Amino acid sequence: MTDASILVTRRSRQRLSRLLQRAVQGVAVLWATWSLTFLILYILPSDPITIMLNQGEQSTVDVAQLAALRAQYHLDLPVWQQYVLALWKVLHLDLGRSIVSGDNVTYLIAQSLPSTLLLASSALVSALVVGGGLAASVSVLPSGRIKSALLALPSLGAALPMFWLGLLLLQLFSFNHAWFPAMGNAGWQSLVLPTLALTIPTAAMIAQVMNRSLSEVWRRPFIDALRLKGAGTAHLLWRHVLPNAAIPLLTLTGMIFGNLLAGSVITETIFSRQGLGRLAEGAVSAQDIPVVQGVVLTAAVIFVAINFITDALYPLLDPRIAAGENA
């Protein structure tokens, strides 16, 4: 076996070992997230069965009916037995049934998830364009008031509360000017304002990261060498600076998308959109334990999956990582 083939084999084993390690960490994160959600929900003083029965027209809760429902959902068992039973079901991909509606939790999530993923994906693409475009534009501007003002925009955008921003967009573009609908999921128009509400703070975070990364890349010696060879600013920006500056942003992809999923709870509530956020909000209000756990677990799976894919792609996009693995 040649030295080159030995090196390739060693590199493959190191990457596989790293991916297996990340997979184990991902499973641990999912277990910890689900377990913590279980613990928080079960230490709440209220009873989900009582909440469900009190939502009906009857003013009193029948004791026998209450006991039967508690037994049906295993709420009459000690907490550790409830935990073991619930965990066993999850390991068999059974998220249980909603205490409030009786529907299968997997079905409820499957109905709500596409709308939330569409909203989060739209906001992510918009934030990358806006935040990355702002950072790239600022990086080529000469020092002055305009550049200072543009550099301050990301901090301002990141400081805006999402619920306040959503209400402001509703007031301006739905109530004062009926340009976009105030609620619902009908048509692309209903997606504009929720996407904008998620885009602004996310774009601000992306711009802050890109500003620092672009400043560092512009100062690298190879950029000076390319300038001496006659390369123009536009050529350097698009062919060399942006590709190198965007690599650190890849590591934040999971966190950014996770923030978008968390922000969807607020955004979908403000704009009355049907989605994972509204499902979670209603389930928390009713203390519908299986639904809350299912929603949290789904969001955690998406977060872990994105981070796993990012870790798998990172050495391919940044040769320095591969070189570090072989050192």
Residue of 35, 47, 34 lying closest to 73 (CA atoms): 47
The answer to whether position 38 is within a domain reads no
pLDDT of residue 137: 79
- In a domain? residue 20: no
242 Cβ contact list (under 8 Å, min separation 6)? 132, 136, 214
Averaged pLDDT for residues 11-34: 79
Confidence of residue 211 (pLDDT cuts 50, 70, 90): confident
Q: Nearest CA to 116 among 255, 267, 1?
A: 267
140 phi and psi angles, rounded to 5 deg: -100, 0
- List all residues 6 or more positions away from 162 whose beta carbon is below 8 Å from its beta carbon: 197, 198, 201, 263, 266, 267
Place of tokens 């950014």: 256
The pLDDT of residue 326 is: 47
pLDDT 10s digits, 255-276? 787 778 777 777 887 887 888 8
Is-contact 33 300, C-beta < 8 A?
yes
**pLDDT grade, residue 320 (50/70/90)?**
low
Is 285 domain-assigned? Answer: yes
What is the pLDDT averaged over residues 308-312?
76
More confident residue, 201 or 44: 201
Rg (CA), the chain: 25
| pLDDT for res 327 | 45
How far is the C-alpha of 292 from the C-alpha of 34, rounded, in Å?
10
In a domain, 152, yes or no: yes
Assigned token pair, 98? 């909603």
Residue 313 is part of a domain; what is its CATH number? Answer: 1.10.3720.10
Q: Which domain holds residue 164?
A: 105-326
Torsion region of 191: left, alpha or beta (phi above 0 gives left; psi -120 to 50 gives alpha): alpha
Contact assessment for residue 319 and residue 26, using Cβ atoms and an 8 Å cutoff? no
Main-chain phi, psi angles of 97, to 5 degrees: -125, 150
Q: Residues of the chain with pLDDT > 90: what percent?
A: 0
Question: Does 71 have pLDDT greater than 80?
Answer: no
Determine the Cα–Cα distance for residues 151 and 268; give it in Å rounded to an integer: 30
- Identify any residues that bridge with 97 across adjacent strands, giving them in sequence order: 104
| Per-residue pLDDT, 321 | 53
Residue 303: the pLDDT is: 81
Burial of 274 (0-12, 13-18, 19+ CB in 10 A): middle
pLDDT at 325: 47
Q: Taking the complete model, does pTM exceed 0.85, yes or no?
A: no
Our count of domains for the chain comes to 1
| pLDDT (tens digit per residue) in 125-177 | 888 888 888 887 777 777 777 777 777 777 777 777 777 777 888 778 777 77
- pLDDT computed for residue 66 by the predictor: 67
